[in-house]
Amino acid sequence: MSFEVAVLLLGWGTLVGLDLTSVMQSMIARPIVAGAIAGAILGDLPSGLRIGVMFELLQYDILPLGASRYPEYGPATVAATATAHLLSGALGLGLGAVVGLFTGLLGGVSMNAVRRLNTNAVHRAAPALEAGDTQALMRLHVASIGRDAVRALLVTGSGLVLATGTHALPGQTIHVRGAVLLAAAATGAVIAAGTSGTVRLIGRGSAIGWFAAGLLGGVAGAWLR
């Protein structure tokens, strides 16, 4: 991975991290988008799509309702795609999942930390806000977005460092069959998470019939392929 590509990935991961809650919410933070674009940056769209699908399924386990806390899979998918590209094959997929899961955990923790910093900043600015000071309001808001940008940059950077670290592992650390086992286990885990989240989302109401119909169509489609 060249320096230019690393910088592009860092920039993309930062945008993705900002999109999750702070700016736009246009869903470039969805893993399927974050992974595909990261793959395109690396010149490896298939790896980006594959990792994107994996983490998109994990995302189904999350409903961002109210003030709930959740992992952040956008920058995580960028780092996982970089890992999959650097290592290629089953080892790339398996270790990509490992890197992505750790980065997702870090992303969730860092979001909570930034929200606490924002809370402290609001405390400090409370007298100015209560006086209707527009400049204080704008400063507070822009500084908070800046904080989130730095957070997203650091999370993506940490993920990319992990990705580079896995690339530096000696070849004998994991045998091919072990790599396939790791990739298969990670795939099973994301399918479980995706299915569990979907079943919870569908519930027991009238939508269950539509879900069953879709399931039949999907099984037929997968079998025909």
Residue 225 makes contact with other proteins by CB under 8 A? yes
Given a contact cutoff of 8 angstroms between Cβ atoms, the answer to whether 72 and 34 are in contact is no
Given a contact cutoff of 8 angstroms between Cβ atoms, the answer to whether 165 and 103 are in contact is no
| Interface with other proteins (CB under 8 A), residue from 2, 3, 4, 67 | 67
| Interface with other proteins (CB under 8 A), residue from 118, 153, 164, 167 | 118
- Spacing of C-alpha 135 from chain mean position: 34
CB of 3 to other proteins, least distance (A): 26
| Interface with other proteins (CB under 8 A), residue from 10, 84, 87, 193 | 193
Residue 105 makes contact with other proteins by CB under 8 A? yes
Residue 18 token pair: 């900002």
Rounded Cα distance, 100 and 81, in Å:
8
Residue 74 makes contact with other proteins by CB under 8 A? no
Window contacting other proteins (CB under 8 A); options: 1-9, 77-85, 117-125, 151-159: 117-125
Window contacting other proteins (CB under 8 A); options: 6-14, 77-85, 154-162, 189-197: 189-197
Instruction: Tell me the one-letter amino acid at 163.
Output: A
Residue 182 makes contact with other proteins by CB under 8 A? yes
| Interface with other proteins (CB under 8 A), residue from 2, 3, 171, 206 | 206
Kindly tell me which of 3 and 221 has the beta carbon lying closer to other proteins: 221
Residues 21-40 that bind other proteins (CB under 8 A): 21-28, 30, 32-33, 36-37, 40
Window contacting other proteins (CB under 8 A); options: 3-11, 65-73, 80-88, 156-164: 65-73
Residue 221 makes contact with other proteins by CB under 8 A? yes
Residues 78-97 that bind other proteins (CB under 8 A): 90, 94, 97
Q: How many residues lie near other proteins (CB under 8 A)?
A: 109
